[in-house]
Structure 1
């Protein structure tokens, strides 16, 4: 990770709100290159990464005086919606953030993304295999990674201490006990951005992984069947959590990064924890007071009797893809962002986690070190479901899980509805 045109953040020169499918160019003078305007879309609305990308754009312009970079910076859901609208019209920005997986594959199949394999052949060896995986299909590369991470629980150590929780839970039953202890202590256990849906899907996805196992998650993407007992049981376990009423008041209408949303609720001490990606500390600091040394992290617990294990991670990273009709300067920008010097600076600043070999020592934040170590020792990895599967399937996962959390669907109904969409997409 993630992450309304009302939330567009102005960046660098002009924040472009339109499509970036056609490069603006002017003839050069003699042997000099013509002027080029690049449209760059991304969703880093919080610091430090928002400012880092602004700085990189200015540096790139300084090194390439004929290039002007125009950014469109959108919050997670607004970004997905606007990019989908643009790509459905048969266009794509020159450079745009991608999570890879099924969504990127669909854009590739539509002829909207440049195959950059030959152009980055000499650079590919500097990236870790895990970081590249989501952007490679049939031996070809369609984006370069800028970040990788995992979803886990970010928690307030003081709240846990007050509730008598001496260490983070490692099992699902232990997690439910932790929720009960927090409630008994008068502390809201969990903050959730119910309005935005995607944060809620993390719970069902992780429970499915822990109960059914990673292979079953991958197989569901092949046979398009989410009605198997393990997936229904994941829904039941999520309902068991919901029945404890663990979320903040008004969570169904809450946003993620808004001043009164999920992130701020944890940051300002109004809730004990949130299930979120590696960007959580930065967004917490941006949306609220920040917890400083009182912030901790632990991986999603194991479910007793399940086929999955606690060392299997769920998450993803971020990459930068190049539109099929983009000028060569677009790929130059992507290479500039991901070269060793620039990317390592970004890691040191706490903006992203390592995607290049040997960058691990650049991670300074203690909690991000835990995430980085967890990823380094992960025995398996599952991409976000709303990115791993085709867009319509991912959207249905988010919608059905949101309705399950809201009490509008049963675990069986949610599994059936996801399956129906998955099968119709495969036909």
Structure 2
């Protein structure tokens, strides 16, 4: 009799727990209103056996645009699940430090927001929880975005937006951009007049923008195998890197790009209509569009060494706190915030390119087309702490564009980077 009563109780309890889970089909949380119309049956995603919490805490960046949209989407999640979502504004640059203090004491978030280049620090400090994504769940993100939130072969984040740089051009000066950067000299003659500060093409000569020349000639930053970086394997002074930087130095010379060119000077000249094409990030679009209007165009970066030019991509993501007591539901919320519909809402209010491929294709503003296309050739910036030493390459490029021997400069720089990494004990 006692056994029969016990099994009846367990059966009732299981039914009760199942009823607590969100009954979403297809893409989890499709839309911010909880409307599931049009979803295919048999695709329900659950949160396992975790009891439903009364509240989830989210640390959002304190940027006003982002905070507003996160609060809006959180309300949609609450309406759908009944779970209160407390959105707390915390400066992005201070989140990791505050998380390290607050989370172990039980005062941290369930979900927090960071760029992928902080992932190495988060993992080393034990602050971010690795996640398992099904094929359907990982399909919410572009390959470049997913690669960016992997560390030592494990996946940690739920990408919400992705950024890179691409080519902007002035249609009144250039009907179309050249097929390759090496062909810049073909258009330089008719548009470039250094004495009048007029140029066919400008870019800032630093490592961030020069990476296409390193990668496409056979160089690399760190060796990689099985999703893990090997910081002791530097490819910044191999034969390919030397060839690439030699080609880059020649480009700067052919296009008459001043070796001391800065973003501010480049922007000023482009806005004054004195430059045919520049390479810059999405962050410059509004300023460029406001000034140039219909004369502004965007495109993928022209090819380098006969191949699509890769660019660094940066990814902003939601991460689950290792100290969260509701990790299954934090994952549920993260998937909801980053589904196609909500990623589109995020883009519409922040202007950031969504990491969801479907949301990318739904962008109506044609100026985004060049960036969306460029993302296809994007490479994730290494997210291991040793990457901080690699920015010594900026100094190397300064010497190369001023005429120093690329091999000698790169050999010395690689030695300095290796020494910094060894001294840091990482």
TM-score, length of structure 1 as denominator length:
0.65
Aligned match for 2:186, one of 156, 164, 177: 177
Aligned match for 1:104, one of 110, 114, 119: 119
Counterparts in 2 of 1:392 and 1:66: CA distance versus 1, 3 Å: closer
Counterparts in 2 of 1:226 and 1:331: CA distance versus 1, 3 Å: same
- The residue that corresponds to 1:95 in the other structure is 112
Q: Is residue 393–residue 418 contact of structure 1 (8 Å, CA) maintained in 2?
A: no
Aligned match for 1:316, one of 298, 313, 317: 313
- The residue that corresponds to 1:113 in the other structure is 128
Unaligned runs of 5+ in 2: 1-51
- The residue that corresponds to 1:396 in the other structure is 392
Compare CA radii of gyration and give the structure with the larger one.
Answer: 2
Whole-angstrom distance in 2 between the partners of 1:210 and 1:393: 22
Whole-angstrom distance in 2 between the partners of 1:89 and 1:399: 36
> Deviations along 1:343-384, whole A, 9 cap, x unmatched?
1233456823353353354121223224334545x5xx4224
- The residue that corresponds to 2:281 in the other structure is 277
Whole-angstrom distance in 2 between the partners of 1:390 and 1:241: 30
Counterparts in 2 of 1:335 and 1:268: CA distance versus 1, 3 Å: farther
> Deviations along 1:130-176, whole A, 9 cap, x unmatched?
4312212455321111233543221112133xxxxx53112333123
User: Do structure 1's residue 211 and structure 2's residue 217 form an aligned pair?
Assistant: yes
1:245 Cα offset (Å): 7.1
- The residue that corresponds to 1:136 in the other structure is 150
Where 2:356 maps in the other structure, the secondary structure is: coil
Where 1:212 maps in the other structure, the secondary structure is: coil
Q: How does 1:23-422 map to 2 (within 5 A)?
A: 33=54, 38-41=58-61, 51-60=65-74, 63=78, 67-72=86-91, 79=93, 95-100=112-117, 104-117=119-132, 123-137=137-151, 140-148=154-162, 150-160=164-174, 166-184=175-193, 186=196, 187-190=198-201, 192=203, 200-212=206-218, 223-243=233-253, 246-247=256-257, 251=261, 254=262, 256=263, 260=264, 262-263=266-267, 265-282=269-286, 284-285=288-289, 289-303=290-304, 306=305, 309-311=306-308, 313-322=310-319, 323-325=321-323, 328=326, 334-347=334-347, 351-373=351-373, 375-376=375-376, 378=377, 381-384=378-381, 387=383, 390-402=386-398, 404-405=400-401, 407=402, 410-422=405-417
Whole-angstrom distance in 2 between the partners of 1:403 and 1:68: 47
1:53 Cα offset (Å): 4.6
Q: Is residue 200–residue 276 contact of structure 2 (8 Å, CA) maintained in 1?
A: yes
Q: Is residue 179–residue 302 contact of structure 2 (8 Å, CA) maintained in 1?
A: yes
Q: Is residue 149–residue 372 contact of structure 1 (8 Å, CA) maintained in 2?
A: no
Whole-angstrom distance in 2 between the partners of 1:126 and 1:391: 28
Report the count of equivalent residues. Answer: 352
> Deviations along 1:226-282, whole A, 9 cap, x unmatched?
22232123222332333457447973xx4x5xxx55445434535433222344424
Where 1:113 maps in the other structure, the secondary structure is: coil
1:192 Cα offset (Å): 5.0
Where 1:320 maps in the other structure, the secondary structure is: strand
Counterparts in 2 of 1:324 and 1:361: CA distance versus 1, 3 Å: same
Counterparts in 2 of 1:229 and 1:125: CA distance versus 1, 3 Å: closer
TM-score, length of structure 2 as denominator length:
0.65
Q: In angstroms, what is the RMSD of aligned CA positions?
A: 4.3
Q: Is residue 191–residue 263 contact of structure 1 (8 Å, CA) maintained in 2?
A: no
Counterparts in 2 of 1:273 and 1:89: CA distance versus 1, 3 Å: farther
